[in-house]
Amino acid sequence: MKSSKKALAIAVAMAAGTAMLSGCSSSGASDDGGKVNIVVAPVLPGATADALKALSKRVKEFEKKNPDISVKAIEYQWTGTTFAAELAGGTLPDVFNVPFTDSKTLADNGQLADITSDFKKTATANKWNKTVLDVATGKDGKIYGVPWGPYAMALSYNRDIFTQAGLDPNKPPTTLDEIEQDAKVIAQKVPGVAGYMQMTSGNNGGWELSANTFALGGRMEKVGSDGTVTVTTDNQQTKQALAWLHKLRWDDNAMGKNFLWDWSGINQGFASGKIAMYMSGSDVIGSLMQANGFDQAKYGVTTFPVDASNSDAGILSGGNVDVVNVKDTAAQKAAAVKWIDFYRTQPSVDKTAAINNAKTLKAGDQAVNAPTLPVFDKATWEQNQQWIKPYANIPAANIKPFTDGIWDQKIVPEAPSHTQDLYAALDPVVQAVLTKRTVDVDAMLKAVDAKIQALIDADAK
């Protein structure tokens, strides 16, 4: 009797243990009782209470329109290193975003859900520009995502610090020399503030060095007519960009004392007033308001200077693709595409959706008119700007230098092959220039070329 009680206790304990283990592995999204559950990830970690309130309102609007879908929104930020871990661990939500550079390869690797049929049901399916939609199209011609928020690299600056330094915030720098001069003035007149800074770690150092290079007319990779890719970081323009950074750091002492900045770190640094000017995507004010509570009245943005004398010079541009988890059921995929269409696409093309979105964002103190590039065409983009104008909460004058200048800049997409590996290999080069007075840049760039070329050549085998 005693032993059977003991056996029962053990069995109960084991059953409980097994239940706990299986509970760990259960997916957060499933179909239940006719309602489809999806987990979406449209907000950055550490989002302000206002941002979360605005998002919750949007979720409710969507659920009202689609009573058979239940949406759970979680915080998510794409970073090169954590994404691979989440992908490998299978912990990604149903809808998440990846950068332009990654979507095609992930699709071809079978890591994203094919959403072609659901995508074709959306009202804008035929409106898409083929070149833009190409970033979300696999080798098989199927659609694996929906692009949104294309950006160009830009120069963000703190208008208050400009004023403190005696500079005119309505006349931001327009050349590299002017950035250098202004940065020098700021560093001298506002102690403890870096006049200019750019990202150096978490693969972002290479990303921004690529932007510097493109702006001077160089390229990090060249694609031959037969499709072979040659890595060309050891080029004149990259060296010129590094020499410019070296001068700002060592001759002008205009870059502060901290030199390890990744994407979220530099946003924090800028939002807390430690950095006066920095290079980032033109839409970064959206994140600065969402995650750092930055006051948009202080914000200014202008185009990053592009060498007018070089016809190859252009501005690095990129964007995001909302994609769907490959493990989702057909019902979840359909629901996910509806959500992406509602949350990302409709506010760009539909007047009512645009106004509703703008009203919600404004009420939640989130960026309504963060400067982006057109996702469809310039006319649709301009129309959209007119719709949201009454709700715009970033002063038009603050973003005017960018919105006026961007149409004159040539748009250059990111390097196509092993992009993140390339960026990671370039991080130490930028760090070296900023932390060591004497650096053998030639040798470092040659080593990067050899390393990334080996990876590309290995793919071709």
Residues contributing to the site for another protein (CB under 8 A): 3, 6-7, 10-11, 13-14, 17, 21, 78-85, 87-88, 98, 102, 105-106, 109-111, 192, 200-203, 256-260, 262, 274, 418, 420-421, 424, 427-428, 431-432, 434-436, 447
In angstroms, what is the minimal distance from the CB of 435 to another protein?
4
Q: Which is nearer to another protein, 13 or 223 (CB)?
A: 13
Tokens 């959500």 sit on residue: 339
Cβ 54 vs Cβ 361: under 8 Å: yes
In angstroms, what is the minimal distance from the CB of 415 to another protein?
13
Q: Which is nearer to another protein, 97 or 357 (CB)?
A: 97
C-alpha count within 13 angstroms, C-beta hemisphere, residue 129: 13
Q: Which is nearer to another protein, 21 or 379 (CB)?
A: 21
In angstroms, what is the minimal distance from the CB of 414 to another protein?
13
In angstroms, what is the minimal distance from the CB of 135 to another protein?
14
C-alpha count within 13 angstroms, C-beta hemisphere, residue 113: 27
Q: Which is nearer to another protein, 98 or 161 (CB)?
A: 98
Cβ 343 vs Cβ 38: under 8 Å: no
Residues in a beta bridge with 315: 411
In angstroms, what is the minimal distance from the CB of 20 to another protein?
11
Q: Which is nearer to another protein, 83 or 304 (CB)?
A: 83
Strands annotated E in 240-349: 275-281, 299-303, 315-324
Q: Which is nearer to another protein, 173 or 205 (CB)?
A: 205
Which residue in 362, 428, 371 sits closest to 390, CA to CA?
362
Pairing of strands 95-99, 315-324: antiparallel
Cβ 211 vs Cβ 279: under 8 Å: yes
Q: Which is nearer to another protein, 36 or 456 (CB)?
A: 456
Tell me the torsion sign for CA atoms 379, 311, 221, 234.
negative
Per-residue tokens: 19 = 């239940």
Helix then strand then coil, % of the chain, to nearest 5: 50, 15, 30
In angstroms, what is the minimal distance from the CB of 252 to another protein?
16
Tokens 């004058």 sit on residue: 397
In angstroms, what is the minimal distance from the CB of 459 to another protein?
11
In angstroms, what is the minimal distance from the CB of 221 to another protein?
15
CA distance 444 to 457: 20
Q: Which is nearer to another protein, 98 or 415 (CB)?
A: 98
In angstroms, what is the minimal distance from the CB of 42 to another protein?
19
Q: Which is nearer to another protein, 208 or 427 (CB)?
A: 427
List CB contacts of 92: < 8 A, sequence separation 6 or more: 86, 325
Q: Which is nearer to another protein, 412 or 433 (CB)?
A: 433
In angstroms, what is the minimal distance from the CB of 83 to another protein?
4
CA distance 170 to 267: 22
Q: Which is nearer to another protein, 83 or 278 (CB)?
A: 83
Residues in a beta bridge with 303: 154
The string of DSSP codes covering 47-98 is: --HHHHHHHHHHHHHHHHH-TTEEEEEEE----HHHHHHHHHHT---SEEEE
In angstroms, what is the minimal distance from the CB of 360 to another protein?
31
Please, is 233 exposed, middle or buried when counting C-beta atoms within 10 Å of its C-beta (0-12, 13-18, 19+)?
Answer: buried
C-alpha count within 13 angstroms, C-beta hemisphere, residue 405: 24
Which residue in 267, 297, 262 sits closest to 284, CA to CA?
267
